Amino acid sequence: MRISVCDVCSDFYKVLRLGLIGGLSLLAINAMGAYPDKPIKLVVGFPPGGPTDMTARIIAPKLGELLKQSVFIENKAGAGGNVAAQVVANSPPDGYTFLVNSAAFAVNPALYGAAAGYSPEKNFVPVVFVSTQANVISVNESVPVKTLAELKEYSAKNKLSYSSPGYGTTPHLTCENVFRLQWKQDINHIPYKGAGPASMAVVGGETPIACTAVAGVYQFSKQGKVRILAISSEKRSPNLPDVPTLIELGYPQIKDYTWSAMMAPIKTPNDIVLKMNQAVNTVLQMPDVREQMDRAGLVVMGGNLQQTNEYMGEEVTRWSAIVKALGAKVE
């Protein structure tokens, strides 16, 4: 079965347009009342070191300065982001607990079914998309391949495994598409609790292959510890100009991205959701924040509440279709 991601996804440039809304004035943000009057918690669905955690840690200090309250991170890793989603879904909808999760948030209800423990539509209010990046296929420096075609030939003759940030993460689905559907090969999937551990697995040689988002292995590739063979973006990344896209390599249907977004528990007051949306958008326009994002291999997103809601709906629909086409299921 061949999966056609393009049939079920919106053009990625719609995502990029969300980041072009411009900064908002502090006056508009501060005019919305006394909120917040105590520290705000960002619950991150993955451990430190991965792109979702990086994204949250880049924006948290600036949000704290802007809102004049402490904004702190709590990592709740497990089940591809499900643990954190369940924690936030059951938190008071008072504006003091937010979820920062990856695109797995849109994937997991289709992949896990009721075991995901939440519904994107019934349990959450989308606040803002913060960052995005493509997925990459990389290998440990000792693996004797230089290209994806060479990896295909090598894996056909050797029993290999690959690490991912977890079941249902978009890197996992990208590589299942390439390895299982396109190549018809059974490369063993070893899920880790986040991109940080998955990246360290390939660096340390626990797995010869890793499927992560760009930020997971970007610095390691610059250090020569891993070799990135392909990227799932529509065009080559400016940060990785020598890495071919999967489209270039003969997989035109694979255009996959991993985003990080902020969500609030359902029934969080609209004025609080709006204030946080505006605050994050303001932070995302700060030059030092954009520089940190770029250095980590992340692309800034942003967008107003209408854009955020529309894109989240599209992503839930898109990834549900991909999971169905892959025949993926976690029992």
Q: Say what the pLDDT of residue 331 is.
A: 62
Q: Say what the pLDDT of residue 30 is.
A: 53
pTM: 0.82
Per domain, the residue ranges of the chain are: 5-132+258-326, 134-231
Kindly report the CATH class assigned to 134-231.
alpha beta
Cα–Cα distance for residue pair 184/155, rounded to 1 Å: 11
Omega into 36 within 30° of 0, i.e. cis? yes
What is the residue-level pLDDT of the chain in tens, covering all 331 positions? 333 333 334 444 444 444 444 444 455 455 556 899 999 999 999 999 888 999 999 999 999 999 999 999 999 998 889 999 999 999 999 999 999 999 999 999 999 999 999 999 999 999 999 999 999 999 999 999 999 999 999 999 999 999 999 888 899 999 999 999 999 999 999 999 888 899 999 999 999 999 999 988 999 999 999 999 999 999 999 889 999 999 999 999 899 999 999 999 999 999 999 999 999 999 999 999 999 999 888 999 999 999 999 999 999 998 999 898 888 877 6
CB 312 within 8 A of CB 305: no
CA angle 32, 36, 38 (to 5 degrees): 165
E strand or H helix at 319, and its extent? helix 305-326
Among the listed residues 292, 295, 303, 220, the one whose alpha carbon sits nearest the alpha carbon of residue 261: 303
Is the Cα torsion angle 136, 141, 142, 147 positive or negative in sign? Answer: positive
CATH topology of domain 5-132+258-326: D-Maltodextrin-Binding Protein; domain 2 (3.40.190)
Q: Which residues contact 179 (CB under 8 A, 6 or more apart)?
A: 155, 162, 185, 186, 187
